[in-house]
Structure 1
Amino acid sequence: MPSSTQDNAWLRAMPWVFVLIWSTGFIVARYGMPHAPPMKFLAVRYALSIACFLPWILIAGVKWPTSRAQWFHLAVTGVLMHAGYLGGVWAAVKAGMGSGLSSLIVGLQPVLTAIWLSGTGSKVSGRQWLGLLMGFAGLVLVVSRKFGAGGPGDQANWLNLSFAVMALMAITVGTLYQKRFVAACDVRTANAVQLLAALLVTLPLTLLEAERMDWNGELIGAMAWSVLGLTLGGSSLLYLLIQRGAAASVTSLMYLVPPCTALIAWVLFAEPITAVTLAGTALTAFGVALVVRTGR
């Protein structure tokens, strides 16, 4: 009985742990991006993450996917949700887009997911539509103070806008694809296959980057957290959440990432928290609650 209670408590906590971990992505970018080009950083991140998963898989005796179809579906989601999403976001930031604008663009994912689901016959209730719109409105309030704050280096152009939209489409399609085609399997082997596919796609792109990685304390710290926290922790939780929950409910959690990022930046970098930020955070949280709340 205690074990069952603990399991239920962990299942309830999973979404909020995921949001907290995922929110550190832009914090890592702030530390790491000045010292490394995006594709080289991500290629090293994927390789180190695979190196962490393999001993874990061998020691635990976990079975790998048994069918070619399962390997293929996992590889597709790896290319979309790792190479496509992360590559797009990091390339957009490197090309001069600010974190506020990139967060807002990627934050359109829950709305796109809901539109796709309604178009394919899956039911998105009126309450969930209201929650999605409220969450997006709160997201706009949270990031609105950042528009133009970075001067010329925080502007949108066709290049960084293309990267951000690519990231948005990759995470949206990847989430829907995984929910539809990827059968339940161990999260460790699933992540290893996804990361291997992402690495194979990313490695050729590193040849296009002339900039070299400047290994220092900030870059090492950013890499360590990217591997241990974001990939082993955050990506594994996202995989489990998609397997366990409805797509619209899971993706609505992404609305909470920018407000949580703002709070982390306030703690670490003393970035100001305004009344508008607090109002947007509250509106977003209420909107997400409407989406994920189960009916009677």
Structure 2
Amino acid sequence: MDIRSIFMGLAFALMWSSAFTSARMIVADAPPLTALSLRFLISGLIGVAIARAMGQSWHLSRGQWRSVAIFGLCQNALYLGLNFVAMQWIEASLAAIIASTMPLLVALLGWLFMGQKVRPLGIAGLIAGVIGVAIIMGSRFSGGVSIPGLILCGIGALALAVATLTVRGASSKGNVLMIVGLQMFVGAGILAVAAMLTESWQVNWTPRLGLAFVYTTLVPGLIATWVWFRLVDRIGAVRAATYHFLNPFFGVAVAAVLLSEQIGVADIVGVVIVAAGILAVQLSKVGATAG
């Protein structure tokens, strides 16, 4: 793996993980579903405009439209929507840790329901992931964590894992930005309806809200997605996915620095174990691919 690929992987993990901290800032001053719907609308417009300027087409294949619909619903509306709502009650670091278990959920669901083989190293990684999450949750429960918030984050991670398994292997055929932009429109539409039914327009306009919204829209929303697909093109999806093991570290670190969230010894131990589990699962896939 070359230096440029390593830098891209680190950058993607940091941008992805930082989204939870910026989301926490947003929901402190604005209704979560309304803010997220607006973010998707803006990101989608920018993404589609850039895609058209690059010559990409919105005349997609049936498989590509299926990808747009599934990821628009599961990733944008359910996964991110539920996380935004949950972060009204739970800390960004905890939301990042729960979301980081998605590769473990993908491996587990594929093993249990789709007959996908998991090597011994992968099984060890799944067990380590469960142990790490149990350690973190045990510590947080004693501190009075929000149960509804945890449930929403868990459902969101499960929805993203299901979507990943459902459309695994779908080819973008050069239409990466167009597909990403259209997925954001799907999420924007679904969340706009949900926001009109459940939220009122009450916004506390602050500089922090503005900066967090712009950052979330451009960096995790568009730049991180672009970097991810470029990384996949360079080293393949399986090897690129190994960088997910950094997400718990970065998610906790960014929240501690920018939001002054308290991190205990149990959190650190649990994060290390979860990260090791994610790495083991991904390395087992790399070994299987090489074999």
Same fold by TM-score, threshold 0.5 exceeded? yes
Tell me the amino acid that sits aligned with residue 74 of structure 2: L
2:182 is the alignment partner of 1:193: yes
Alignment match, 2:157:
168
1:15 to partner: Cα distance: 3.4
Q: TM-score, normalised by structure 1?
A: 0.80
Out of 13, 23, 41, the position equivalent to 1:19 is 13
Aligned with residue 109 of structure 2, among 109, 116, 128: 116
State how many pairs are aligned. Answer: 282
Is 2:96–2:251's contact at 8 Å kept on the other side of the alignment? no
Inter-partner Cα distance in structure 2 for 1:169 and 1:255: 18
What is the rounded CA distance, in whole Å, between the counterparts of 1:54 and 1:205 in structure 2? 24
Given the alignment of the two structures, is residue 265 of structure 1 paired with residue 252 of structure 2, yes or no?
no
**Counterparts of 2:142 and 2:87, CA distance in 1:** 14
Measured at CA, do residues 282 and 134 of structure 1 come closer, stay the same or move farther in structure 2, by a change above 3 Å? same
Which residue of 2 is the match for residue 225 of structure 1?
215
Question: Equivalent residue for 1:59?
Answer: 53
Q: Deviations over 1:129-148 (max 9, x none)?
A: 21232244345545654445
Distance in 2 between the 1:100 and 1:285 partners?
Answer: 14
Q: Secondary structure at the match of 2:222?
A: helix
Is 1:155 the equivalent of 2:149? no
Q: Runs of 5+ in structure 2 lacking a partner?
A: none
SS of 1:87 mapped into structure 2:
helix
Shift of residue 117 of structure 1?
Answer: 1.7
Local SS of the residue matching 1:35: coil
Which one of 100, 121, 125 corresponds to residue 127 of structure 1?
A: 121
The letter of the residue matching 2:107 is A
1:48 aligns with 42
**2 CA distance for matches of 1:109 and 1:235?**
17
Indicate yes or no: 2:203 matched with 1:213.
yes
Normalised by the size of structure 2, how large is the TM-score? 0.82
Preserved contact between residue 142 and residue 259 of structure 1 (Cα < 8 Å): no
- Paired residues of 1:31 and 1:219 also in contact (CA < 8 A): yes
Alignment map for 1:230-249 (pairs within 5 Å) = 230-238=220-228, 244-246=236-238
Q: Is the 8 A contact 1:135 1:255 kept in 2?
A: no
Shift of 1:93: 2.2
Is this contact kept in 2: 1:74–1:182, CA < 8 A?
A: no
The range that moved more, 215-224 or 176-185, is: 176-185
Supply the RMSD in Å over aligned alpha carbons. 3.0
**Residue 83 of structure 2 corresponds to which residue in structure 1?**
89
